[in-house]
Amino acid sequence: MSSQGFDDWVRSDRFHNSFLLAPDADLDFALQNMADNGLPQIAVSAAQGKFLYLHARAIGAKRVLEVGTLGGYSAIWLARALPADGEVVTMEVDEKHATVAQASIDHAGLASKVKIVRGPAVDSLAALPSEPKFDLAFVDADKRSNLAYLLEAERLVRPGGVIIIDNVVRYGRVSNPADPEHDGIDSQGVRRMLEHLKTDKNVDATTIATVGEKGWDGFCYAIRL
């Protein structure tokens, strides 16, 4: 098999997107707004955003929890999947990120569906009541706290609901603790979560590795039992 790399993954994503994703002025605005304000380019890709949107629709989600707002890109995708009385509650520690996100969400006409909760997500999650439940949780913040986020998501998501935790592969680094040069605290946080999942009776989960314009990574997909 020939060896392939990042350029091939980007080309492939763009090729598929050219058939499956329509031009989208509001999402383009959100990306530009992030770039103009110097936010890091770490939002989900367009294909991943559409996957979140399709998945929220597939399960008939009405309430979505997101940990890690950044500039609101994935929140916009998720909010669009919801009925008129649906809600995305999205958590962000960085004031500037939250402000940029709010502007893009307003611009997309989704202010009534998206609530940004500012502050450290561990505290924001703990302050959320256990009812009403969420249908879907998307965890995409600091990976060191993944286990804490997972446990809170288990408390907050209904049985049959879904918890998706992003960035659990990290170019294979998560699976290679013997590589001290690349073994960051993010990977350790993901490993702590996986270790917990091994015996967790509240969820059943799998990891799906992905390549694309955001590199080689993957997400953990869990059903709340």
Ligand X SMILES: C[S@@+](CC[C@H](N)C(=O)[O-])C[C@H]1O[C@@H](n2cnc3c(N)ncnc32)[C@H](O)[C@@H]1O
Smaller CB separation from ligand X, 65 or 197: 65
Among 70, 89, 174, 197, binds ligand X (CB under 6 A): 70
Residue 185 CB, shortest distance to ligand X, in Å, is 12
Among 53, 61, 74, 152, binds ligand X (CB under 6 A): 74
C-alpha angle 17-139-133 in degrees, rounded to nearest 5 = 110
Min dist. Cβ of residue 49 to ligand X (A): 7
With CB under 6 A as the contact rule, the residue among 61, 91, 100, 203 that binds ligand X is 91
Tell me which of 50, 63, 80, 97 binds ligand X, using CB under 6 A. Answer: 97
What is the per-residue DSSP string for the chain? -----HHHHHHHHHHHHHHH----HHHHHHHHHHHHTT--S-SPPHHHHHHHHHHHHHTT-SEEEEE--TTSHHHHHHHHTS-TT-EEEEEES-HHHHHHHHHHHHHTT-TTTEEEEES-HHHHHHTS-S-SPEEEEEE-S-GGGHHHHHHHHHHHEEEEEEEEEE--STTTGGG-TT-TTT--HHHHHHHHHHHHHTT-SSEEEEEEEEEETTEEEEEEEEEE-
Residue 209 or 225: the one with the smaller Cβ distance to ligand X is: 209
Residue from the set 92, 135, 152, 217 that interacts with ligand X by CB under 6 A: 92
- 93 sits near ligand X (criterion: CB under 6 A): yes
Q: Which of residues 143-202 bind ligand X (CB under 6 A)?
A: none
Size of the residue set binding ligand X (CB under 6 A): 18
Chosen residue from 10, 21, 31, 42 binding ligand X by CB under 6 A: 42
Binding span for ligand X by CB under 6 A among 39-47, 185-193, 205-213, 214-222: 39-47
Interface residues with ligand X (CB under 6 A)? 42-44, 68-70, 73-74, 91-94, 97, 120-121, 140-142
